Structure 1
Amino acid sequence: MKKTFVLIVLFILPLVAYLFFASGVNNFGRLPILTEQVQDLTDIDPEVSLQDKITILGFLGKDADLRKGNAFNLNQKIYKRFYEFHDFQLVMVMPYGTEEVVEDIKQELNQLTDASNWIFIYADDSEIERIFSSLKTDISLNNEMGTPYVFIVDKDRNLRGRKEDEDVGTKYGFNTNSVAELNNKMEDDVKIILAEYRLALKKNNAERSN
């Protein structure tokens, strides 16, 4: 009996665990697409595109000096953990007139980590509204063209999120005021989308080698 028990522990349980997690990746390892074809950013800045990038997209607004805490929460809980992944970027669409505040934010972020993948682009109010509206969410910009929420956009410019979030149902964005939400929800969702692309890349490489 002891030998049988040891064999089960050593061989059967790891196999069951493998099958369980493999099934989980296939069945649960994809973030739902909530909006297709989010407006690209190239009309505003030709050097910045959502296409072929995994993007965290945000709108700090004209009162960005009051939202530094949001930027630092996002930096510490999300950006620092993922910025070294290939094709990952964090883009903030900023109103004209916030350039000096942004420089201050960038300097402070650089003291905490390599902020080279923090990208700030500038636009007028109508352009910001156009980009934000293309996300087609249940969230609104305030009068200063800002929101504490940030959004996950995939390489095909699709907004990703949750259709059955336990708190809000359909979850379009993540509140950077809440460290708990960044820790407990957004981090998991970014991990899922990165794993999704890694699996797709491995599959493509395997097919090419065959």
Structure 2
Amino acid sequence: MKKFIVLTVLFALPIIAYLFFASGKNNFARLPVLTENVKEISSFENLQEQPVSFKNNISVVAFFGSDLEEIKGYTFNLDQEILEKYYSFKDFQFVILVPEAAKDKVRDFVQEFGKIGSAEQWKFVFAKPEEIKAVFGSMETSHSLDENLYSPYVFIIDKDGNLRGRNDDKDHGVLYGYDSRSVAELNNKMNDDVKVILAEYRLALKKYKADRKY
């Protein structure tokens, strides 16, 4: 009986993993690069005063601004519909750029948000307003930051520091970022695209390991 269970698990896991990634509409296609060389953030620090970098990470990037209380509902959407599904991937990170002056507000926000969701694995990164604007501007999107340095859109940055998204989206044409106010967009588009980019890197790693055997 134990042997049967072990064999079933060994057989089922690869199939489950395949179905998980293959369920995306793009189905293992590369997620298009929309902007190359987004400004690096390694000179900025998180709450623990440690540097955070886009390099060698698949990053979901958000700009929360200085008025965090107003965006709690949208952030909950993002956490529930996207982030919770991918925390287990060691090269996946959620990066939030926030003005340095809002550090105390961030601490309060994390504590309060803990009552409805999970923020333990979020990487709040602090920078001067002009530095945040420079990072946002380097993505060259059709979106903008408001006066509090907030945007409802979240973005996918790959391991090489490139902005990924869609260049043939049926609703927007070019889809630079995903609207955290829309559960439908998070579920139907962002979730699909995160699957695609994770599958892309894992297939590349698998090919690299296979090539090294020869």
The verdict on how the C-alpha distance between 1:177 and 1:188 changes in structure 2, with shifts beyond 3 A counting, is same
Distance across 2 between alignment mates of 1:63 and 1:111: 19
The root-mean-square deviation of aligned C-alpha atoms, in Å, is: 2.3
Residue of structure 2 equivalent to 1:38: 38
Unaligned 5+ segments in structure 1 are 1-17
Distance apart, 1:123 and its partner CA:
1.2
Shift of 1:190: 0.2
Shift of 1:27: 8.1
Q: Percent identity?
A: 49
**1:154 partner amino acid:** D
- Compute the TM-score of the two structures, normalised by the length of structure 2: 0.82
Q: Which moved more, 1:44-53 or 1:73-82?
A: 44-53
Q: In the alignment, which residue of structure 2 is the partner of 1:95?
A: 99
The amino acid across from 1:199 in the alignment is L
1:2-53 Cα shifts (integer Å, max 9, x gaps): xxxxxxxxxxxxxxxx9xx99x999861110000010010122362000100
Q: 1:52 aligns with which of 56, 64, 68?
A: 56
Decide whether the 8 Å contact of 1:75 with 1:109 is kept in 2.
Answer: no
Q: Secondary structure at the match of 1:91?
A: strand
d(CA) in 2 for partners of 1:146, 1:34: 21
Give unmatched runs, 5+ long, in structure 2: 1-17
Answer with 1 or 2: which has the greater Rg: 1
Q: Does the CA-based 8 Å contact 2:40-2:54 persist in structure 1?
A: yes
- 1:199 maps to 203
What does residue 133 of structure 1 align with?
137
Number of equivalenced pairs: 190
Distance 1:31 1:101, change over 3 A: same
Please list, as runs of the form range in 1=range in 2, the aligned pairs for 1:162-181 lying within 5 A after superposition: 162-181=166-185
List aligned pairs for 1:117-156, cutoff 5 A: 117-156=121-160
SS in structure 2 of the partner of residue 67 of structure 1: helix
Alignment check: 8 A CA contact 1:153 1:159 kept: yes
For residues 177 and 155 of structure 2, the distance between their equivalents in structure 1, rounded to whole angstroms, comes to: 5
Match of 1:67 in 2: 71
**Alpha-carbon distance in 2 for matches of 1:111, 1:72:** 11
TM-score by length of 1: 0.83
